[in-house]
């Protein structure tokens, strides 16, 4: 009898190999909510804007300023910190060309982190909700036309950044379509805020005036869109039973 045959005749030790127990979807969803609440609550003890403006300007770690900025930017967006403030800080610290590149990188990384958390922890638990009419239509749209649909969502002002991230995570869109559309779609708005931050010391300069005009126009579009959506909703009295 050879060694392999003899080894095959040894009795299997019960309990030697343990089976991995899957985490229930609702438990994963609760973990996702806990992580997001903890991230948002962390802003009570640290300020991303102060860290970005004072932590990377000089000192022995200046060579790591760019990657550290992207990392802090991404974590701050995950904590629901206002992204326009971060974009303006990129312009103040790095100027327009490099600041725009770093702001887009931080935005895309933060979106990818939110997408990964939502896809891994929340999608299975919220899958039954996607069967509803409106959410099902959005799911089909993002799944079938991922890049184009996400690009339009990113370019329309006024839609909350994290809301898009998690809506995409709960849908069937692919990660590469999501990240590519995010990087391209946030360019116009990001450029306006980065330019405003870079030229803030010269408020009468053409760059500052143009970027400010773009931001005002984006705010106006957002306001009009919200007003139209509100007017399109049925009156409260019409919703109840006849």
Task: Write down the pTM of the prediction.
Answer: 0.75
- Rounded CA-CA distance 117/97 in Å is 31
Q: What's the distance, CA 186 to chain centroid?
A: 11
Closest CA to 180 of 89, 229, 91, 115: 115
Average pLDDT of the chain, as a whole number: 78
The per-residue pLDDT for 242 is 40
Helix (H) or strand (E) holding 235: none
Residues 67-94 pLDDT 10s: 989 999 999 999 999 998 999 999 998 9
pLDDT in tens, the chain (242 residues): 555 455 455 455 555 555 666 778 788 888 989 999 999 999 999 888 888 877 665 555 567 888 989 999 999 999 999 998 999 999 998 988 999 999 999 999 999 999 999 998 877 777 666 666 556 666 677 777 778 888 888 887 778 899 889 888 888 889 999 999 999 999 988 998 999 888 877 766 676 667 777 767 766 666 565 455 455 545 544 444 44
Question: Residue 83, Cα to own-chain centre: how many angstroms?
Answer: 10
Handedness of CA 151, 156, 157, 159 (dihedral sign): negative
- DSSP annotation of 174 reads -
Q: Which residues of 35-59 are buried (b: 16+ CB within 10 A; e: fewer)?
A: ebeebeeeeeeeebbeebeebbeee
């Amino acid at each position: 009898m050879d060694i392999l045959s003899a080894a095959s005749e040894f009795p299997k030790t019960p309990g030697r190999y343990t089976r991995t127990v899957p985490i229930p979807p609702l438990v994963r969803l609760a973990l996702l909510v806990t992580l997001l609440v903890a991230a948002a609550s962390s802003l009570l003890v640290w300020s991303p804007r102060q860290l970005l403006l004072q932590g990377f300007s000089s000192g022995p770690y200046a060579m790591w300023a760019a990657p550290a900025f992207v990392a802090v930017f991404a974590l701050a967006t995950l904590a629901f910190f206002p992204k326009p403030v971060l974009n303006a800080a990129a312009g103040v610290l790095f100027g327009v060309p490099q600041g725009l590149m770093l702001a887009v990188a931080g935005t895309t990384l933060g979106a990818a982190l939110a997408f990964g958390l939502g896809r891994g922890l929340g999608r299975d638990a919220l899958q039954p909700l996607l069967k509803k009419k409106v959410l099902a239509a959005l799911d089909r749209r993002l799944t079938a036309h991922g890049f184009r649909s996400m690009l339009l969502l990113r370019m329309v002002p006024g839609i909350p950044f994290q809301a898009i991230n998690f809506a995409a995570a709960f849908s069937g869109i692919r990660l590469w379509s999501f990240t590519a559309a995010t990087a391209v779609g946030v360019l116009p708005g990001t450029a306006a805020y980065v330019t405003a931050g870079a030229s803030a010391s010269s408020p009468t300069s053409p760059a500052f005036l143009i970027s400010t005009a773009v931001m005002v126009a984006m705010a106006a579009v957002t306001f009009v869109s919200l007003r139209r959506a509100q007017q399109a909703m049925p009156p409260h009295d019409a919703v109840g039973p006849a």
